[in-house]
Structure 1
Amino acid sequence: MHILVTGGTGLIGRVLVAQLEHHQVTVLTRSPESAQKILPSGVRFIRDLDELSDFSEVDAVINLAGEPIVDKRWSEQQKGIICSSRWGITEKIVKRILAADKPPHTFISGSAVGYYSDQGDTIVDETLKVDSTDFAHAVCANWEKIAKRAQSNKTRVCLLRTGIVLSKEGGALKKMLLPYQLGLGGPIGDGSQYFPWIHIRDMVSGILFLLNNEKMQGPFNLTAPNPATNKAFSKALASTLKRPHLLFTPKFAISLMLGEAGQLLLEGQRAVPRTLEDNGFTFEFPDLPSALEDLLR
Structure 2
Amino acid sequence: MKIAIAGGTGLVGQALTDHLIDKGHSIFILTRNSSNKKEKANVTYVEWLKESSSPETSLDGMDAFVNLAGESINSGRWTEEQKKKIIESRISSTKEINKIIGSLQNKPEVLVNASAIGYYGTSETQTFTEEDITPGSDFLASTVYAWEKEAEHAKADGVRTVFTRFGIILDKDEGALPRMMLPYKMFVGGKIGSGEQWMSWVHIKDVVGAIAFCLENKELEGPVNVVAPEPKQMKDFGKTLGKVMGRPHWFPTPGFALKVAFGEMSVLVLEGQKVLPAKLDDKGYIFLFSHLDDALSDILQSK
Mapped partners of 2:295, 2:36: distance in 1: 30
Q: Is the 8 A contact 1:55 1:104 kept in 2?
A: no
Once the 2 structures are TM-superposed, how far is the Cα of residue 73 of structure 1 from its aligned partner? 1.1
SS at match of 1:17: helix
Q: Is the 8 A contact 2:123 2:197 kept in 1?
A: no
Tell me the equivalent position of 1:29: 31
Q: Which runs of 5+ in 2 are unaligned?
A: none
Q: Which of 5-14 and 54-63 deviates more? A: 54-63
Once the 2 structures are TM-superposed, how far is the Cα of residue 84 of structure 1 from its aligned partner? 1.4
Cα displacement string for residues 84-112 of structure 1 (whole angstroms, at most 9, x for unaligned residues): 11110001111222333321110000110
Tell me the equivalent position of 2:278: 274
Matched, 1:105 2:109: yes
How is 1:63-212 mapped onto 2 (pairs within 5 angstroms)?
63-152=67-156, 154-212=158-216
Q: Is the 8 A contact 1:29 1:35 kept in 2?
A: no
Identity %: 38
Mapped partners of 1:34, 1:294: distance in 2: 33
- Could you tell me the TM-score, scaled by structure 2's length? 0.93
Cα displacement string for residues 178-230 of structure 1 (whole angstroms, at most 9, x for unaligned residues): 22112121221111000010011111000000111122111000000000011
Once the 2 structures are TM-superposed, how far is the Cα of residue 54 of structure 1 from its aligned partner? 6.4
Mapped partners of 1:32, 1:95: distance in 2: 20
Tell me the equivalent position of 1:291: 295
Matched to 1:24, the amino acid is S
Q: Which of 25-34 and 275-284 deviates more? A: 25-34
SS at match of 2:154: coil
**1:230 aligns with one of 231, 234, 259:** 234
Cα displacement string for residues 122-155 of structure 1 (whole angstroms, at most 9, x for unaligned residues): 1110011224331100110000000011114731
Once the 2 structures are TM-superposed, how far is the Cα of residue 59 of structure 1 from its aligned partner? 1.6
Q: Is the 8 A contact 1:61 1:108 kept in 2?
A: yes
Structure 1: 4+ residue segments shifted above 4 A: none
Mapped partners of 1:48, 1:96: distance in 2: 10
Tell me the equivalent position of 2:60: 56
Mapped partners of 1:41, 1:89: distance in 2: 26
Mapped partners of 2:219, 2:95: distance in 1: 24
Cα displacement string for residues 65-93 of structure 1 (whole angstroms, at most 9, x for unaligned residues): 11111331111110111011111000111
Q: Is the 8 A contact 1:11 1:169 kept in 2?
A: no
Once the 2 structures are TM-superposed, how far is the Cα of residue 169 of structure 1 from its aligned partner? 2.5
Mapped partners of 1:185, 1:250: distance in 2: 12
- Could you tell me the TM-score, scaled by structure 1's length? 0.94
Q: Is the 8 A contact 1:6 1:63 kept in 2?
A: yes
Q: How many residues align?
A: 295
Q: Which of 264-273 and 178-187 deviates more? A: 178-187
Once the 2 structures are TM-superposed, how far is the Cα of residue 29 of structure 1 from its aligned partner? 2.0
Tell me the equivalent position of 2:16: 16
Once the 2 structures are TM-superposed, how far is the Cα of residue 261 of structure 1 from its aligned partner? 1.4
Mapped partners of 2:58, 2:44: distance in 1: 16
Q: Is the 8 A contact 1:55 1:103 kept in 2?
A: no
Mapped partners of 1:67, 1:88: distance in 2: 11
SS at match of 1:87: helix
